[in-house]
Amino acid sequence: MSSTSISEPPGFSELSKAEQVDYLMSLWDQIAEAPGDLPVPESHLELAEARLRDYRKDPSRAHSSFEVLDRLAEKQK
């Protein structure tokens, strides 16, 4: 993801860290109300299509989300 420099809203730096987080979460909630409006990079779509093709060729190679989460949790230990 590219990094852009934007000025913070007036008064933002005077807020406590908890208030800043609440502010950001409120912004995210507004964005998330219309996820279809968010652009998806073509490379992400291509990767999803390739993975779906692979799954359809051999569904037995797929792992459930629970298996993946368990494997990731083990790596964190």
* Phi, psi torsion values for 65, nearest 5 degrees: -60, -35
pLDDT at residue 68 in the model: 94
Over residues 8-32, the pLDDT tens digits come to 999 999 999 999 999 999 999 999 9
41 CB-near residues (< 8 Å, 6+ apart): none
Give the position of tokens 């008064």.
11
pTM value is 0.49
31 with 38: CB under 8 angstroms? yes
Q: How does pLDDT run across 48-66, given as a tens digit for each residue? A: 999 999 999 999 999 999 9
Specify burial of residue 15 (Cβ count, 10 A radius: 0-12, 13-18, 19+). Answer: middle
Residue 42, C-beta contacts closer than 8 angstroms, at least 6 positions apart: none
Q: Return d(Cα 23, Cα 20) in angstroms, integer.
A: 5
Structure confidence at residue 7 (pLDDT): 92
